């Protein structure tokens, strides 16, 4: 293949024990030569996935296992299982984010969060100076008044992070990230064709435990993969509104979902053949 030059350093934060589309996004980042992963952190999950105690650690173990399967091993640092308190607390995830943000590098740093902003808030509280050293690409929030999962899992953290005047934020809200959809049939078929990594990922979907009130339809949203457009790919075929000048504030409106989905399945297939 033609050589792809790295374009950014990436810190990836998610609630890995929740919706497995986060693990799809992690695999995509790990297989993308245009970004360089410098830290992976795991956050709390919404109680809808069961009692939160131990979930951040369990999810981090899942993320580490996936990276091992992909032959891209990297440590995953777990955060707390409770929401942001506004008070300093010791957190392996927050320490990892601070260290990665403060590390010297020849590429810009992007903190990709596709879950609650708990670990990001703890990191900014521990070291406010990191706000000027990275860009936050967040999958969450909603342009309309909607009960959006990533925001309402920890609204205090969201308010603290988004209210930071020194932090550049590129936001992929509910109305936008829902554009990244595949059918369950396509997801099962293409993951099962992609070797050990694909089979591992499909098992996470096939064994997902959710309350009985949750009913699955014929499609699945891969919204956590939206930030690949600003890390591992390119947003030239997507669109956003600029809501601030300094620092940069973007609200993404339209996504090139074909680019994201097809690149993921192609990279997973290529990794299987390697």
**Residue-by-residue DSSP string for 86-104:** SS----HHHHHHHHHHHS-
The H or E element that residue 250 is part of is strand 249-254
Percent of the residues in the chain that have a pLDDT greater than 70, as a whole number? 99
* Tokens matching residue 105: 């590098």
Q: Is the peptide bond before 158 cis (omega within 30 degrees of 0)?
A: no
Q: Is the pLDDT of residue 1 over 70?
A: no
Longest dimension (CA), the chain: 49
Q: Is the pLDDT of residue 215 over 80?
A: no
Cα Rg of the chain, angstroms: 17
pLDDT in tens, 24-80: 999 999 999 999 999 999 999 988 878 889 999 999 999 999 999 999 988 999 999
Query: What confidence score (pLDDT) does residue 141 get?
Result: 96
* Tokens matching residue 104: 């010297």
Residues 83, 4: Cα–Cα separation, whole Å: 39
- Share the mean pLDDT of the chain: 94
Q: Is the pLDDT of residue 144 over 90?
A: no
Q: Which residue in this structure is represented by tokens 């995509």?
A: 28
pLDDT band with cut points at 50, 70 and 90 for residue 146 = confident
Query: What confidence score (pLDDT) does residue 143 get?
Result: 81
pLDDT in tens, 74-99: 899 999 999 999 999 999 999 999 99
Q: Name the percent of the chain in helix, strand, coil, to the closest 5.
A: 45, 20, 40
Q: What is the pTM of this model?
A: 0.96
Q: Is the pLDDT of residue 177 over 90?
A: yes
Query: What confidence score (pLDDT) does residue 176 get?
Result: 97
pLDDT band with cut points at 50, 70 and 90 for residue 214 = confident
Residue 135, number of CB atoms within 10 A of its CB: 19
Domains (range + CATH), the chain? 8-269 (3.90.245.10)
């Amino acid at each position: 293949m033609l050589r792809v030059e790295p374009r950014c350093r990436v810190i990836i934060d998610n609630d890995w024990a929740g919706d497995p589309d986060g693990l799809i996004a992690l695999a995509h980042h790990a297989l993308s030569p245009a970004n360089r992963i410098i830290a992976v952190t795991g956050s709390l999950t919404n109680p809808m996935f069961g009692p939160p105690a131990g979930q951040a650690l369990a999810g981090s173990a899942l993320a580490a296992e996936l990276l091992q399967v992909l032959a891209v091993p990297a440590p995953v640092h777990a955060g707390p299982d409770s929401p942001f308190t506004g008070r300093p607390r010791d957190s392996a995830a927050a320490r990892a984010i601070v260290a990665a943000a403060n590390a010297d590098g020849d590429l810009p740093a992007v903190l990709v969060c596709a879950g609650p902003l708990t670990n990001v808030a703890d990191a900014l509280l521990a070291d406010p100076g990191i706000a000027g050293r990275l860009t936050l690409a967040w999958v969450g929030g909603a342009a309309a008044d909607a009960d959006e999962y990533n925001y309402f899992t920890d609204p205090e953290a969201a308010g603290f992070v988004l209210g930071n005047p020194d932090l550049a934020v590129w936001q992929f809200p509910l109305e936008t990230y829902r554009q990244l959809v595949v059918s369950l049939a396509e997801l099962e078929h293409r993951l099962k064709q992609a070797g050990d990594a694909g089979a591992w990922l499909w098992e996470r979907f096939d064994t997902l435990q959710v309350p009985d009130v949750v009913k699955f339809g014929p499609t699945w949203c891969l919204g956590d993969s939206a930030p690949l457009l600003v890390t591992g790919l390119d947003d030239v075929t997507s669109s956003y509104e600029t809501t601030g000048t300094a620092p940069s504030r973007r609200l993404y409106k339209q996504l090139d979902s074909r680019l994201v989905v097809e690149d993921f399945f192609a990279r997973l297939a290529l990794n299987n053949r390697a």
